[in-house]
Amino acid sequence: MVAYTVLKQLLLPPGLLLVLLALAFFLVRGTLGRLVLFVAWSLLLVMSVPLFAAMLAQAAERYPALTPTEIRHSDAGAIVVLGAGVYAGAPEYGGDTVDVRSMARSRYAAWLHRQTGLPIYVTGGAGSQAPGPAMQRFLEQELDVPVAALEAESRNTWENATRTAPLLQAAGVHRVLLVTDALHMPRSVEAFERTGIEVVPAPTYFLSSGRRPAHALRPPTEDWRNWLPQAKVWCASFYAIHELVGGLYYDLRAGLSEQPQYGTLDIDRAP
């Protein structure tokens, strides 16, 4: 069983790519060529191994999951859930519906609504494949939870905040439970707080533990499979790096301008 698992991981991407890069290292002549291959091999390896992805996730997921007590005493006036992506043209549903991350965020928003009775505001993009309308349909038609308002003009996280804040303020809401992926939460909190909205982070869809501080976590080492490259782990590493770089970008733009326009680069596009 162990041999089968190892062989399978090495014959499927990214394991196969690692094997080919290692082979190329010995076939290529010249120091520079070997150096480039070694760097490429190393980056692909560490981004594909669960241990590395866990450390990246711990660095990015700075907000822990809310406890029942924190939910009851949040003093929030509404729940704001950020859109992620769309499962476009889903043949089994006859049209667009929520993707995995939009579904996870919507489900947690619905759960919080049932716990608190707070209204739900969905903020989720412009265009024909914006996640907001699909999330509203999912919440209302499949989860049987009403949506108080849909913000459907934003193109990125910063616009999620700047375009949703007026809707909240018009309703007399100044403090919200903010729902998004745990990795995405730091940038989202910064964006909403810069509009004057008080935020209680309500993260979901954790890649690491959601109950302990990130610095107290250690990647699991007892399972030997955590040392094998895996395609889904590469995607998780990419998402974590995307959010860490996005946070640095926000900080840089905030330092350069009192009113930063964070939509000028595609740093907010969902991976």
pLDDT at residue 256 above 90? Answer: no
Evaluate if residue 260 carries a pLDDT over 50.
no
Of residues 220 and 3, which shows the higher confidence score? Answer: 3
Which domains does the chain carry?
2-60+216-246 (no CATH), 68-214 (3.40.50.620)
| pLDDT for 266 | 38
**% of the chain at pLDDT higher than 70:** 81
Cβ neighbours of residue 233 closer than 8 Å, sequence gap 6 or more: 47, 48, 49, 50, 52, 53
Are residues 157 and 268 in contact, defined by beta-carbon separation less than 8 angstroms? yes
Average pLDDT taken over every residue of the chain? 83
Low-confidence winner among 23-27, 85-89, 223-227 (lowest mean pLDDT) = 223-227
Q: Measured between alpha carbons, how far is 239 from 191 in angstroms, rounded to an integer? A: 19
Q: pLDDT per residue over 34-52, tens digit each?
A: 888 888 888 888 888 887 7
201 has which bridge partners?
Answer: 178
Who wins on pLDDT, 237 or 121? 121
- pTM for this structure? 0.76
pLDDT > 90? residue 4: no
